[in-house]
Amino acid sequence: MWETWRKRAGSAPDATDPGAGSAASSAASNAALIRAAENNTQVVRALSGGVSKLGRDAAEVRGLLEDTQKVVLSQAQAMQALGGELEQVRHAQDGINQSTDQTREAVGRARVALAGVGNEVGGIVATLRQVSDAASEITKIALQTRLVAFNASVEAKRAGEAGRGFGVVADAVKDLAAQVEASSKAIMGTVGALDTRIEAFSRELRADTAGQSARAHQSSIHQAFADVEADVDLISRSAQESQATTQQLAERSGALGLEIQQAMRNLDAAFACSDRFLRLSEQMIEQIASSGVPVDDSPYIEAVQQAAAEISALLETAVRERRIDLSALFDDQYQKIAGTDPQQYLTRFTDVADRVFPSVQEHMLSFSDKVVFCIAVDRNGYVATHNKRYCQPQRPGETAWNTANSRYRRIFNDRTGLASARNQRPFLLQTYRRDMGGGHFVLLKEASAPVTVAGKHWGGVRLAFGF
C-alpha cells in the first residue's frame, strides 16, 4: 500500500502542462495521499508496538497460568496421596479396635481362669486342713498311748521280776508313741505353714473387688488385670477419637480435592483463553509485518528467512555431494544418549548438522545484541547442534545447569518449538517464556522460517530475540 501511494504521488503531471489547473489539483491530491500514507505508517508502527507489548503480556500470563497449573496439579496429587494415607490410617485404627476387643476378652478369660484356680486352691486348703486334723488326732492318740505305756511301765516295775518283760514292752510302746507324737506335730507344723501360704495365695486369687474406692483392697494380680483393662480402654477411646478425626480429615480432604479439580478446570479454561489470546496477538503481529510497513520485527523476519535459505542450500549441497542421503537427513528415529538429564538424542544427520549449521547459526548471533539464539530444528523440534554457548557437556546430577547450558541434542516439542519446526508459511512470529532451568524463565519473541530440502519440508530456523 505504501509503495502504491508513492507511485501515485510520483506520477503527478507537470505544472506547465496546459492542464495546469487539473495538474495542481492532482498534485495536491497526491500530497494528501502521501501524508495519509505517512500517517497510516505511523499508526501501523504504533499498532505494531502495542500489539507486541500485548503479546508479551499474553505470553507472561500464559506462563504464569502454566506455573499455577503445575502447583495445582501438585496439590491434587498431594491430596490424592493424603487420601490414600488416611485410608491406611483408618485400616490401622480398625486393627487397633479389633486388637483392643481381643485383649479385653483375653483379660476376661484370664479372670475366669484365675477364679477357677482360686477355687481349686480353696479345695487344696480344705484338704490340707483335713490332713492337719488327722495329724492332730494322731498326736492325741500318741499322747494317750504314752500315758498308757507309762502306767504300764510303772505297774511292771511294781511286779518285779514277773513284770520285767512287760516293762520292756511298755517302754518300747512309750518310745514309739513319743516318736509318733513328734512326727504328727511336725506334720501339723508343716501343714499349718503350707495352709497359711496357700490360704494367702487363695485370697490373692479371689480378691477382685470392684469400684475406685476398693482399688486398695484388690490383690496385685487383679490390680494388674485392672490396669491392663484401663490401658486397653484408653487405647480404644484414643483410637475411636482418632478415627473420628481421621473421618473428618477424609471428608475435608475429599472436599478440597473437588475444589482443586474445579480449580484445575477453571485454569484449563483460562489457559485455553490465554492461548487463543496469545495466538491472536501473534497473528496480528504477522499481519502487520506482512503489510509491507517496516516495523520493529521486520529485520528479524528478513534475517531468519535468509538464514533458513542458507541452511536449505547447505543441506542441498550435502545431499548432492553424497555426504548424506535423504533418508538419513529425514531420520526421526532418535536414539537416547544414556545418562543425560534432560534427555539428549542422536540421529543419522547429527554429524552433518554439527559440520554445516554453526557457520549460519553463529553468524546470526552478531546480527543484533537482542538475539538470544539461532538454531536449525527438524520438523519434530530436534536440535542437533545449538549455538556454541549452549553446547556445554552435561554435568551429572545438575539438571538445572544442564537445562540452561546443554541445550543441544534435545527435542523441544512444546507449543512454540513444534509450531516453529512445522511452520511452512514464509515466516512465523511467536512470543513465549523460555525455560532456563531451576524455575528461571526468560520472555522472548521468536521469528522462524521453514527449511526445505529436495522440495520437502525438513524443519525450520528459529531466531529468538528479546524485547
Is 50 within a domain?
Answer: no
Question: Are 111 and 206 within one domain?
Answer: yes
Instruction: Examine residue 16 and state whether it is found in any structural domain, yes or no.
Output: no
Q: What is the DSSP string of 8-40?
A: HHHTPPPTTSTTHHHHHHHHHHHHHHHHHHHHH
pLDDT at 139 over 90: no
437: in domain? yes
If asked whether residues 211 and 308 sit together in one domain, one would say: no
* Same domain flag for 217 and 354: no
Residues 234 and 307 in one domain: no
Number of domains in the chain: 2
- Which carries the bigger pLDDT value, residue 53 or residue 77? 77
- Checking if the pLDDT of 44 tops 60, the result is no
What does the pLDDT read at residue 211? 45
Q: What is the CATH number of the domain that holds 346?
A: 3.30.450.20
Among 89-98, 236-245, 376-385, name the most confident range: 376-385
| Structural domain containing residue 130 | 83-241
Local confidence band at 1 (pLDDT 50, 70, 90 cut-offs): very low
Task: Among 241, 266, 289, identify where a domain stops.
Answer: 241
**What is the average pLDDT score of the chain?**
77
35 domain-assigned: no
Q: Are residues 466 and 340 in the same domain?
A: yes
Do 312 and 219 reside in the same domain of the chain?
no
- Read off the CATH number of the domain in which 181 is found: 1.10.287.950
pLDDT of residue 316: 96
**Residue 457 maps to a domain:** yes
Contacts of residues 369-372 at CB distance under 8 Å and 24 or more positions apart, as own/partner, are 370/465, 370/466, 370/467, 371/300, 371/463, 371/464, 371/465, 372/434, 372/442, 372/444, 372/464, 372/465, 372/466
Among residues 226, 241, 256, which one ends one of the domains? 241
Q: Determine, yes or no, domain membership for 428.
A: yes
Q: What is the pLDDT of residue 349?
A: 97
Same-domain check for residues 303 and 423: yes
**Cβ burial, residue 110 (10 Å; 0-12/13-18/19+):** middle
Evaluate whether residue 305 is within a structural domain.
Answer: yes
- Residue 194: predicted pLDDT: 73
SS3 label, residue 457? strand
331, 224: one domain: no
Residues 215 and 360 placed together within one structural domain of the fold: no
Q: How confident is the model at residue 37 (pLDDT cuts 50, 70, 90)?
A: low
Check whether residue 233 and residue 310 sit in a common domain: no
* Pair (223, 331) in one structural domain: no
| pLDDT tens digits, one per residue of 182-234 | 776 777 677 777 777 776 776 666 665 444 444 555 567 767 767 777 777 77
Sequence-distant (6+) residues with CB within 8 A of 447 are: 297, 300, 301, 303, 304, 427, 428, 429, 462, 463, 465
Predicted model pTM:
0.54
